[in-house]
């Protein structure tokens, strides 16, 4: 099916340099060794190239407004990361690369790609708050939400969403909401806004997956921002019904009560059924419905301003369909069918389970005193 040309309900941002970020020859997430044969690192460029390829071949790309990324400035990066850390990353990459932090290999082009990823997210925010597309998807790489103030980790170098959220505040987006549905907890983004009452951070992630001790229900924000951090640690095996219930009970009501000026999404599709890095059961329809719910809040509270930034998603054959579902929903384009949904959406356990409902209720109860969740 070809999509109608000239439709620009949403913007799309990508760049060839993102694919030049080189994670080297690993065995998935393990360094080659005496008994470990080298292979492709799990965070390779393949799944991201296939996302853009699927959009192009289907014609969906023709219905999106291109947004040109630019490198983030030192000042923009330093709002989130220390100058010493930024210099360390750039020095390491110019020397040919190496290990930037825990499970974060980088190559010669990685610092430039990470700076362009952060700047790309800012460019999308500038468009949303200016005269460009109100909503957009940034297909960037490397990912960012694990990157802390002075530490790379979990494949993440510079925290693009956190950098863009800081920029949004300076551009007139005084109240910023960040929704992080990557299956891993966004510890770096949480750290960046822990004590900032003007940034609402909501993370829905697999309980205890990565980092091991991060993203607990009782982590609710610093002294000046109690309740502005909401963690929803989902039990392994959560699928379509559980994710929609979490959004309907926690995410959407919290966003509506917070009434942001702009919403940013850390869009990691590694909660997908076939993802090798997690044990959740989401399908394309799950991400389409999550996107639809956030779009409705954005339309009601912030003139539709919604910027999604790619994070994880490591199934080369499945992630493109999950991401395309989001982008087609953003762009008001006909959906691209997820071929696996014919059976995965009907596998037992996709419905909301009692223990999942209990977990979501516990999050609601923990946040009742803070006002966003009545």
Q: Which positions are catalytic?
A: 146
Only one residue has tokens 């030192």, namely: 74
- Distance of alpha carbon 321 from its chain centroid, rounded? 16
CA distance 200 to 162: 12
Beta strands 262-267; 306-310: pairing state: parallel
Residues 101, 192 contacting (CB under 8 angstroms)? no
Number of Cβ within 10 Å of residue 7's Cβ equals: 15
Residues 135, 294 contacting (CB under 8 angstroms)? no
Q: What is the DSSP string of 251-319?
A: IHHHHHHH--SEEEEEE--TTBTT-TT----B-HHHHHHHHHHHHHHHHHHSTT-EEEEE-----TTTH
Cis status, amide bond into 211, omega within 30 of 0: yes
CA-nearest of 312, 305, 280 to 139 is 312
Number of Cβ within 10 Å of residue 179's Cβ equals: 29
Residues 275, 319 contacting (CB under 8 angstroms)? yes
CA distance 168 to 176: 7
CA-nearest of 101, 28, 11 to 64 is 11
């Amino acid at each position: 099916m070809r999509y109608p040309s000239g439709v620009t309900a949403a913007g799309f941002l990508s760049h060839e340099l993102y694919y030049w970020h080189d994670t080297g020859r690993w065995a998935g997430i393990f360094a080659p060794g005496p008994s470990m044969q080298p292979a492709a690192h799990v965070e390779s460029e393949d799944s991201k190239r296939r996302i853009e390829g699927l959009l192009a071949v289907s014609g969906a790309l023709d219905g999106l407004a291109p947004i040109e990324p630019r490198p983030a400035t030192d000042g923009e990066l330093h709002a989130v990361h220390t100058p010493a850390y930024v210099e360390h990353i750039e020095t390491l990459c110019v020397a040919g690369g190496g290990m930037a932090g825990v499970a974060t290999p980088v190559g010669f082009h990685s610092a430039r790609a990470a700076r362009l990823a952060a700047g790309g997210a800012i460019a999308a925010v500038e468009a949303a708050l200016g005269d460009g597309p109100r909503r957009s998807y940034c297909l960037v790489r490397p990912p960012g939400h694990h990157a802390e103030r002075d530490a790379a980790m979990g494949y993440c170098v510079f925290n693009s969403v956190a950098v863009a959220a800081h920029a949004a505040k300076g551009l007139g987006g005084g109240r910023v909401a960040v929704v992080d549905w990557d299956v891993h907890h966004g510890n770096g983004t949480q750290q960046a806004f822990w004590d900032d009452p003007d940034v609402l951070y909501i993370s829905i992630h697999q309980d205890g997956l990565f980092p091991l001790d991060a993203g607990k229900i009782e982590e609710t924000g610093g002294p000046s921002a109690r309740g502005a951090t909401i963690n929803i640690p989902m039990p392994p095996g959560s699928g379509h019904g559980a994710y929609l219930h979490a959004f309907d009970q926690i995410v959407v009501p919290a966003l509506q009560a917070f009434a942001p000026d702009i919403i940013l999404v850390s869009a990691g599709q590694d909660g997908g059924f076939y993802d090798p890095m997690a044990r959740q059961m989401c399908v394309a329809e799950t991400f389409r419905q999550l996107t639809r719910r956030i779009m409705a809040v954005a339309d009601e509270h912030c003139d539709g301003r919604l910027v999604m930034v790619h994070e994880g998603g490591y199934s080369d054959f499945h992630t493109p369909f999950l991401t395309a579902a989001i982008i087609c929903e953003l762009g008001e384009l006909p959906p691209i069918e997820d071929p696996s949904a014919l059976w995965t959406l009907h596998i037992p356990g996709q419905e909301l389970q009692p223990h999942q409902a209990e977990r979501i209720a516990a999050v609601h109860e923990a946040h009742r005193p803070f006002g966003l969740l009545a």
